[in-house]
Chain A
Amino acid sequence: MKRFPDAAREALRDETLQRNLAHATGTIRARRLSVVSEVGDWEALREAGRAIKERTLRGLDRYLVQLEGAVERAGGQVHWARDAAEANEIVIRIAQKARATKAVKVKSLLTDEIGLNEALAARSIDAVETDFAELILQLDRDKPSHILVPAIHRNRTEIRDLFRRTLRGARDVSDDPAELAEASRVHLRRRFLAAEMGISGANFLVAETGSVVVVESEGNGRMCTTLPPLLVTVAGIEKVVPTWGDLEVFLQLLPRSSTGERMNPYTSIWTGVTAGDGPSAFHLVLVDNGRTNVLADTVGREALACIRCSACLNVCPVYERAGGHAYGSVYPGPIGAVLTPQLRGVRHVKSLPYASSLCGACFDACPVKIDIPGLLVHLRGRVVDGSHGNAEAGAMRALGRMLSSRRRYERAQRVARLGRGGKGIAARLPGPLHDWTRARELPSVPRQTFREWWRAR
């Protein structure tokens, strides 16, 4: 994985990407602000959402077992997967047992996280993405760059060209959104009718009844969960909520925070199987893939409260400029910067906790009040603890020593003054001063420090 600063530098050079990002995040940001401001008890809702998530994470072991029992009583089967490989293997086994080779998929971050499509393809099982944006990415062999709007980095013209190239009968499609939607509809209709298996993720899993909840905008997800005879839901273990009463809070928080809508167009909820209605077989695969490690960090676990609304991405000035791919994961933006290092191990993803100016816009936007700046600082501490003896650690220790004594501090101030007029040299040196002077002038060191003025007055 590329270091964040290097990946971000490349994104900054791409002018089309910069325009697409600024336009899209700006639009969603304004919509979110307007629908959030009309809710009188928004702050109380956020507090409730946070409290439910905290309580659930503390009792996760119990709620998961309760969920398993409820799903099985409703005629579904539950599988437990330690990691991505196990989860993929379970889905493949289910497909093979049913002799299914054609699958249709609901938009799902988790299946992207575990690389399910690639694993299925390797066993000759064809999984087609049916969410409009996910379809675009699949056709172009591209990766998502936003939680909610995975193809946010693409504009209409780029999508038109892609459809002309890849979709049957779309050679003359224009960049009119209605025409693009129609082209995808014609393409997907054939896939829906031929599908032997539906695959979904989950926004929420209700423990008390074993119900799965998926929210979406297009209705294609509901085609996947109702049309094929076999349905497999793959979900992270943190998706469980105890009761329907708890769900009510999140169904208010999520649409306003994510798409900036009062209510999302489609909310699909199913419980096991129902004879003569929808799929006749239902499997729920519960995936850990690093989540219990996150849970073990009593500070870091707060990141598991995330409901994947992407409000933090849309308000983040760093995301807006670096784009989603720079975060090297299906979870980009501020939440990705605190989640990915924990899921993969901090030592493998050292640059992400620093991919923030700690401006705090994400914290204010988060519907479940995850203290993302606080978590970033916490993870920086874990990065520092894990990297001894590098140049930065040495410099920071020396700085700390200097600042912990008045005598050493005042001596350093006098030394700094010797550097007056030395700006030209600083700019030619490598290191932090060089990085600073690439875009900004250095301040000049004044003749007198404040404390010297104070003593002399």
Chain B
Amino acid sequence: MRVSLFVPCYTDTLFPEAAIATVRLLERLGHEVEFREEQTCCGQIHANSGYERDARRLAERFVRIFGDADVVVAPSASCVGTVRDHYERLGVAGAAELAPRVLELSELLVGRLGADDVGASFEGRVAYHPTCHSLRAIRVGDKPVRLLRKVRGLDLVDFPHADECCGFGGTFAVKNADVSAAMLADKVAALEASGADVVAATDGSCLMHIGGGLARSGSPIRALHLAEILAGTAA
């Protein structure tokens, strides 16, 4: 399958490893990956903060760039959620037609391609944090977990209140910094008590926040994108 890759702006700039892993994984599975270099941002920051005019301009740009793609995959549930939940509300022409073809990575792998086992290997205890937008916006269900269960060497560990928000929430993290930090502290404590070596998620933004909190508290737990784990193979 020919897959057009959308890389969130912050992933492109700050966490290229997650996007690189997505490319390697899809190519390993025999798919052709294209990256349309005109792309920048889906408009989520503006759409969620009430800046509708800017959001609409970025949304229109996204639809112009990806409109003719068979399938667009993004290693980010919240960007996919923005395309699927906000573009129509913003009145973007062509959004309704494109939306169902824009998929989060686990949706593409498990939902579209029917592959639970992507042939990955990863040594370590992994706690999976289901991000709010993966769980309650685009509703990926247990697709990421089904993928992780099939990774050789990987020990999936539970932690309490896993489905509770980590406190990131985009501008919420700075506009309501104290509440955000309190939510983060609880998430970090739950992860530390779980015995995990790694926390994995579908969203680099939440991982930036959780990883930043783990690093601040001196925790050895690493924050990794789901794609980085799935791209791993036995050396």
Contacts and interface: CB of A to CB of B under 8 A. Distances in A.
B189 interface: no
A405 B9 CA distance: 12
Contacts of A9: 178
B182 A440 contact: no
A361 B165 contact: yes
B179 to A, nearest CB: 5
Contacts of B40: 403-406, 409
29 contacts: A5-B177, A5-B179, A9-B178, A12-B182, A317-B164, A317-B165, A354-B172, A357-B180, A358-B169, A359-B132, A359-B136, A359-B165, A360-B133, A364-B136, A380-B48, A380-B50, A381-B50, A381-B52, A396-B54, A399-B45, A400-B58, A403-B58, A405-B40, A436-B174, A440-B215, A443-B15, A443-B211, A450-B12, A454-B35
Contacts of B169: 356-359
A435 interface: yes
Interface in B169-186: 169-185
A457 to B, nearest CB: 9
A28 B111 CA distance: 35
Contact of B13 (A356, A380, A413): A413
A33 to B, nearest CB: 12
A177 B123 CA distance: 53
Contacts of A453: 16, 20
A377 B86 CA distance: 10
Interface string A146-190: 000000000000000000000000000000000000000000000
Contact of B176 (A354, A361, A399, A404): A354
A356 B174 CA distance: 12
A300 to B, nearest CB: 13
B58 A360 contact: no
B162 interface: no
A446 interface: yes
A318 interface: yes
Contact of B167 (A317, A322, A363, A455): A317
Interface in B26-69: 35, 37-41, 43, 45-52, 54, 57-58, 61
B137 interface: yes
* Interface SS majority for chain A: helix
A359 B206 CA distance: 11
A317 B2 CA distance: 41
Contacts of B48: 358, 377, 380
B19 A8 contact: no
Interface in B184-225: 184-185, 208-209, 211-213, 215-216
A179 B70 CA distance: 69
Contact of A409 (B9, B16, B35, B165): B9
Interface string A308-325: 000000000110011000
Contact of B136 (A5, A363, A435, A446): A363
Contacts of A393: 51
Interface of A: 4-5, 8-9, 12, 317-318, 321-322, 353-361, 363-364, 374, 377, 379-385, 393, 396-397, 399-400, 403-406, 409, 413, 416, 432, 435-436, 438-443, 445-446, 448-451, 453-455
Contacts, number: 182
A406 B14 contact: no
A396 B49 contact: yes
B12 A449 contact: yes
A357 B13 contact: no
A413 B179 contact: no
List the 6 shortest-distance A-B pairs measured between CB atoms, nearest first. A357-B169, A440-B212, A380-B50, A400-B54, A360-B136, A359-B165
Nearest to A299: B89
A448 B14 CA distance: 9
A354 B171 contact: yes
Given A317-B164, A358-B48, 10 more contacts: A321-B183, A360-B133, A381-B50, A382-B50, A384-B52, A400-B51, A400-B57, A403-B40, A453-B20, A454-B37
A400 B52 CA distance: 11
Interface residues of B, number: 67
Contact of A451 (B35, B47, B211): B35
A454 B35 CA distance: 8
B215 A406 contact: no
A439 B184 contact: yes
Contact of A440 (B136, B164, B216): B216
A446 B19 CA distance: 13
B183 A317 contact: yes
B121 interface: no
B52 A436 contact: no
B83 interface: no
Contact of B183 (A357, A380, A443, A449): A357
A354 B172 CA distance: 7
B14 A355 contact: no
A445 B164 contact: no
B168 interface: yes
B49 A432 contact: no
Contacts of A445: 13-14
B180 A451 contact: no
A441 B212 contact: yes
Contacts of B135: 360
Nearest to B17: A446
A396 B51 contact: yes
A400 B58 CA distance: 8
A404 B211 CA distance: 29
Given A377-B47, A377-B50, A380-B50, A440 B132 contact: no
Contacts of A381: 50-52
A432 B14 CA distance: 17
A28 B137 CA distance: 24
B7 interface: yes
A436 B57 CA distance: 28
Q: Name, among A317, A318, A438, the residue most crowded by chain B CB atoms within 10 Å (CB to CB).
A: A317
